[in-house]
Chains A and B, each alone.
Chain A
Amino acid sequence: MDILEKLRILTDAAKYDVACTSSGVNRKGVKGKLGSANACGICHTFAADGRCISLLKILMTNYCIYDCQYCVNRRSNDVPRAAFTPEEIARLTINFYRRNYIEGLFLSATVIKSPDYTMELLYQTLKYVRKVHHFNGYIHVKAIPGASQELIAATGLLADRMSVNIEMPSAESLALFAPEKTKESILLPMKQIKNGITRSKAEVVRYKHAPSFVPAGQATQLVVGASSDNDRKIVELAEGLYNTYSLKRVFYSAYVPVPTKNKMLPTSRAPLLREHRLYQADFLLRFYGFNSGEIFENSDGSLNMNMDPKCSWAMNNLDKFPVEINKADKMTLLRVPGIGTISADRIAAAQRQGPISFETLKKMGVVLKRAQYFITCGGRMYRQTKLNEDFLTMTLSENKIDERYDQLSLADDFGLSLLPAPAPNFEDELKCLTGQL
């Protein structure tokens, strides 16, 4: 099989993995080596589905001993199979990188023979790319659940980011759709990686040249809509992962049906709007100081499809509004619908320089479309409106543009260009504009 055909098969097999960011680590170029890394991440192109392409995202092989029902690569599925050699991967990476097609390599694999065997294969490949071809760019690699701790530790020293995909948001759905995997087998490597990162950070403080272990942190992915798990369960899981395992990102992927005989899997794809809402909730957790309890206050466990989670929260807490722009601190500002992290920072900075009017807000680029109902400037509201729940529900509801959302929702996946950035420095601003966060 020629390399073109292999690339086609093993790219096709990897495309459902949503994580393709190249952010989180700054590394200067080194004499004698190829490449550098940029903490804000760089998108090299955008695929026809609007997703950022920054890494050469491929599977090492798609021969698999497992039979996870939601996965295209499961052993019972009749798809063409192929396997790359480390040499082929290295040549692709180096040649793509020199032409500036990519920011680095995202190497994943299905489980071939055994978890240890697969992990060893990934390790050997990374070692080859790093040590023989002196590649200094970004590498994201999968940790295989069930592989030995030593292998994961050794691989982590060669990679910038590692991830273990959880896929199914609960132990029950795992048992149902991925019988060979258990919650414990997935969480164990995550814990190992977390401990590795903590240890490495401590060592780097003491010894300047201590090797860094997974400097860009770890991530995971959840499939949404394949199992019956509701939004609350998913967001709570994400919250737990951020808090307990210090994950950098949790990615959500609306289920796209794969050919299967399993009657329990849905035959239609999950709505992209749901994925969009989950990303919004995820951002509330990470950058807006919310917790899952607040997001699901007075809720049946699914996110409101008509308005974003912050709006919904505000509707449940109208007594906390309106907020006076000239007095509110940053955390309060962040809870106002329509005010994001960039705007909150700008307002906080402008507060120190003089009174802020609605005119100033507009000039600063704060979007008043939603915020106007929840704020006052110098004691005045933008228009004479009451904080009335029915009125606000009607005004802020998005359901009239439901269809459009089906198109737009992927924006949240990677093109967060329209959403605010977490911190005021330029890199973060860029990160956000380019969706690399």
Chain B
Amino acid sequence: MPDRTAVTAVTDGTAEGLLTALYMYYYGNLRPEMVVDGSLPSFQQTLGAEYVFVKTDQISAEKVFNAIESKFSGQTRRCIGLSLLSAAEDKLFDIFRYILLAFKDPKHVDDREQFDFVIRIHKLTRNVGMEAHLLTGFARFKQTSQGVLYAEISPKNNVLSLVMDHFTDRLGNERFVIHDTARGLAGVYDTREYIIAEMPKNLRASFDEDSDEQSWQELWTTFYNTIGIQERKNSKLRRQLSPKYFWKNMTEHQRREHWQ
């Protein structure tokens, strides 16, 4: 076996970048021992390692994407899609290996938990799916006098698109904006379709609160404080089920008057 140094593939961090790397695996003899996201601030090259910079190519990416679409099961595609949204910085190589395995064995890839990276992908998928699911409950809209519902979220993973999918179905007749303050992105829905675009941090300032908004918030907070059974207080359980990092965007936790 000839000597060769470990090759690290460096992508631009986008899904297309990863798909291009996969294309190069099949058609360009790229055999990486690691796949990293070169756009991360934490990325730095070390001596003695060999780096291949993957130049994202839309056409190659699309070819791989179409193959994934036609060959993989819904569950596998969902795992790939959700783990790509994960905030874990070292996710790319696991997704890379997962997709390679899926091309080899598209039917059983998700049963093959003997491979660490399959377990990892399932974990990432659960983590991202769970956060998006929690936000479908924890996001809070405010009525603005412009007639638009406005919500702020600050999730750990990039789940805005998943959250938008949920609310466009649920509030299909309403115009609304969901602002991911952690990433400076906002999803905007106009009763027909939504777009996700970069927005300034002070997006909130462009809206005025509706005159009734405060009284609805008060009613809700009253309900929240009354519904708990005082004799059965359990703060630890509450914290486990609704982690505190969600609270800053939840009306009932911001208007604090409740018994602790």
Contact = CB atoms under 8 A, between A and B. Distances in A.
A269 B22 CA distance: 62
Contacts of A45: 137-138, 224, 242, 250, 252
Contact of A29 (B139, B170, B234, B235): B170
Contacts of A33: 173
Given A32-B173, A48-B258, A99-B141, A363 B113 contact: yes
A46 B113 contact: no
B95 interface: no
Interface in B123-171: 126, 129-130, 133-134, 136-143, 149, 151, 167-171
Interface stretch (A5-13, A111-119, A183-191): A5-13
Contacts of A346: 113
Contacts of B229: 15-16, 47, 49, 51, 256
A393 B240 CA distance: 30
A350 B113 contact: yes
A7 B136 contact: no
A74 interface: no
Q: Which of B112, B129, B143, B241 has the most CB of A within 10 A?
A: B241
Contacts of B224: 45, 47, 53
Interface stretch (A76-84, A321-329, A409-417): A409-417
Contacts of A8: 222, 226
A353 B219 contact: no
The size bracket of the interface on A is 35 or more
B17 to A, nearest CB: 27
Given A34-B171, A48-B258, A350-B111, A415 B228 contact: no
Interface stretch (A90-98, A121-129, A161-169, A210-218): A90-98
Interface residues of B, number: 62
Nearest to A51: B228
B8 to A, nearest CB: 26
A363 B169 contact: no
B227 to A, nearest CB: 5
A172 B242 CA distance: 41
A350 B223 contact: no
Contacts of A49: 228-230, 232-234, 237-238
Contacts of A433: 130, 133
A38 B133 CA distance: 11
B169 A407 contact: no
A56 interface: yes
A4 interface: yes
Residue from A3, A51, A56 whose CB has the most chain B CB atoms within 10 Å: A51
A77 to B, nearest CB: 17
B116 to A, nearest CB: 7
A44 interface: yes
7 contacts: A3-B219, A31-B172, A45-B242, A46-B238, A48-B230, A50-B238, A353-B112
Please list the 7 inter-chain residue pairs (A to B) with the smallest Cβ-Cβ separation, ordered nearest first.
A50-B237, A47-B228, A50-B234, A11-B226, A49-B232, A48-B228, A29-B169
Given A51-B229, A346-B113, A415-B241, 10 more contacts: A7-B223, A11-B222, A46-B242, A48-B228, A50-B234, A50-B240, A101-B220, A360-B114, A410-B232, A410-B237
